[in-house]
């Protein structure tokens, strides 16, 4: 299900690492866990977030799982390159967790729910292995939060293709704005959602390159084949749309996208 | 030009004051001026921002102008009710400013450029009365930044009516995202734009009421007559759209809108 957005190709891997690097401060500055606490990272993928999490909480013990052995192998290799010792990897499914009830102090899940047809069920399954009073932290994007200047109809059509393809795969790329009701419906309490808006103009060249071009536009471009083969868009309109997205990364352009970070408690 | 969004009716006046009150911290927390400095507030309207500005900088001296004598009368009355002494009001046009060159230390302009067909010219005119090295602060909304959950096509169509009506009046309600190039094109330097996203869910009942319902939905509802008479939308679709906007203010709904705050310097 994840092979078009969080893929396993080297190019995709590099995009994910780029994304994590340029957005690290925005998304992760307020996540750190106490010494000795036991944290589950659910759906670690190739470890883009794992690297940040483990460094931000060097005395916490992480357990990172993913359904893909291949992703776990990539993550392990990256973690060992960086001499990070406070994480164990394991192939495991969120819907069939090999852990005792209340095994973890806290749970972290990032860019995973958007790919699942049943995100509330996933949150409920995760809740079982979380201690009472423990927190869950969820980070998701929201492709419907994108806009730019100059903005063209064709540019927005390419983004709509990305949204529709993810919906066709039973995912939901508009999930960021829904974290609050999702966490509540899964039974968590004291839910707090914080938007993390990425606003990019040419005074921030690192974000122009690292976010607008190499993360967002790269992600849209990644669905070209599927968009054309599903007849969601005509190829001339596609090309104009992608050019127009790049146009918004020029000196007088601006680019806006919002991630959402939710935290909630497992109640008594 | 401003009579549908920043109108002069009592109801509108109360909406504007509501808006300023609930958004004050978000928009204004980082604006204060030194003792003795001379500030121009351009387009003060009924004084919704003037009250905040003058209180945040009690030792600065404000000069607030507006093209409408009626608005100025309302603003004066509000300011005198609140015993604020550090502001002078004057009827004046941004495009024909009755001040000497470099008369002001700083300029503040909020929710004005969106109504002007020539915002760059306005910024240039203002620049003439600003001292070299002085700052201009611009705050604008961006109606294209709105989204919500649940979100319906009809809800988005009502918002589109608001955008189109403002465009028909030669305004630009998508101006927030454009502050960076506008300030640069008007000759200012060191432009910095900061998005101020309003994210609302039911954990923030004051914003649900003060922003989502009484500011944003109220503003959309304000163009109903014009939208119907211009045949921009059918009245059944309109009613469903407005109901759907309210639906997003219920317990499991969320509401997102972004203001933009730009600051820049007048260069040598």
What contacts A4, CB < 8 A, 6 or more positions away?
A165, A166, A169, A222, A223, A226
Average of pLDDT values for A44-60? Answer: 96
Residue A5: which region, alpha, beta or left (left: phi > 0; alpha: psi -120 to 50)?
alpha
Read off the pLDDT of residues A204-246 as tens digits, 9 standing for 90 and up.
Answer: 998 999 999 999 999 999 999 999 999 999 999 999 999 999 9
Please report the pLDDT score of residue B144 as a whole number.
Answer: 98
B144, B197, B253: residue with CB nearest A258:
B197
Kindly list the residues of chain B whose beta carbon comes within 8 Å of any beta carbon in chain A.
142, 144-145, 147-149, 151, 174, 177-178, 180-181, 184-185, 191-195, 197, 199, 201-203, 252-254, 256, 258, 260
Average of pLDDT values for A163-183? Answer: 96
Whether omega before B131 lies within 30 degrees of 0, making that bond cis, reads no
Q: Which residues of A touch B252 (CB under 8 A)?
A: 180-181, 184-185
Residue B145 DSSP symbol: G
B178, B184, B254: residue with CB nearest A149:
B178
Q: What is the ipTM of this complex?
A: 0.90
Tell me the sheet residues that pair with B41: B64, B108
The continuous run of DSSP H or E covering B121 comes out as helix B119-128
Answer for the pair B130, B102: CB distance below 8 angstroms, yes or no.
Answer: yes
Read off the pLDDT of residues B96-141 as tens digits, 9 standing for 90 and up.
Answer: 999 999 999 999 999 999 999 999 999 999 999 999 999 999 999 9
Read off the pLDDT of residues A21-47 as tens digits, 9 standing for 90 and up.
Answer: 567 878 888 899 999 999 999 999 999
pLDDT band at A12 (very low <50, low <70, confident <90, very high): low
B151, B192, B195: residue with CB nearest A197:
B195
Closest chain A residue by Cα to residue B257: A145
Please report the pLDDT score of residue A88 as a whole number.
Answer: 98
What contacts A62, CB < 8 A, 6 or more positions away?
A39, A40, A41, A50, A53, A54, A86, A87, A88
Q: For all residues of chain A together, what is the average pLDDT? A: 92
Give the angle subtended at the CA of B48 by the CAs of B42 and B50, to the nearest 5°: 50
Answer for the pair A133, A165: CB distance below 8 angstroms, yes or no.
Answer: no
Intervals of chain B under pLDDT 70: 1-22
Q: Which residues of A touch B260 (CB under 8 A)?
A: 199
* Beta-sheet strands, E only, within chain B: 38-42, 61-66, 87-91, 104-110, 130-140, 147-149, 189-201, 254-265
Rounded CA-CA distance A52/A84 in Å is 10
Answer for the pair A237, A154: CB distance below 8 angstroms, yes or no.
Answer: yes
Closest chain B residue by Cα to residue A253: B181
């Amino acid at each position: 299900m994840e092979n078009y957005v969080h893929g396993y190709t080297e190019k995709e891997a590099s995009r994910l690492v780029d994304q994590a690097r340029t957005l690290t401060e925005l998304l992760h500055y307020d996540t750190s866990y106490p010494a000795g606490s036991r944290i589950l990272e659910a759906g670690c993928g190739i470890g883009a977030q794992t690297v940040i999490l483990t460094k931000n909480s060097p005395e916490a013990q992480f357990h990172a799982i993913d359904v893909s052995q291949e992703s776990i192998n990539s993550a392990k290799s990256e973690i060992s390159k960086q001499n990070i010792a406070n994480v164990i990897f394991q192939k495991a499914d969120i819907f069939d967790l090999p852990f005792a009830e209340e095994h973890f102090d806290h749970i972290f899940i990032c860019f995973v729910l958007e790919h699942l047809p049943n995100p509330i069920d996933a949150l409920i399954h995760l809740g079982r292995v979380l201690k009472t009073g423990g927190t869950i932290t969820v980070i998701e994007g929201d492709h419907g939060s994108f806009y730019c200047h100059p903005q063209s109809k064709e540019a927005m059509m390419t983004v709509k293709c990305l949204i529709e393809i993810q919906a066709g795969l039973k995912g939901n790329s508009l999930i960021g704005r829904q974290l609050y009701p999702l966490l509540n419906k899964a039974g968590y309490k004291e839910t707090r959602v914080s938007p993390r808006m990425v606003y990019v103009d040419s005074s921030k060249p690192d974000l122009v390159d690292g976010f607008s071009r190499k993360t967002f536009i790269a992600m849209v471009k990644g669905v070209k084949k599927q968009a054309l083969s599903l007849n969601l868009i005509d190829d001339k309109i596609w090309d104009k749309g992608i050019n127009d997205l790049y146009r918004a990364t020029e000196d007088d352009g601006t680019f806006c996208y919002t991630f959402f970070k939710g935290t909630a408690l497992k109640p008594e």
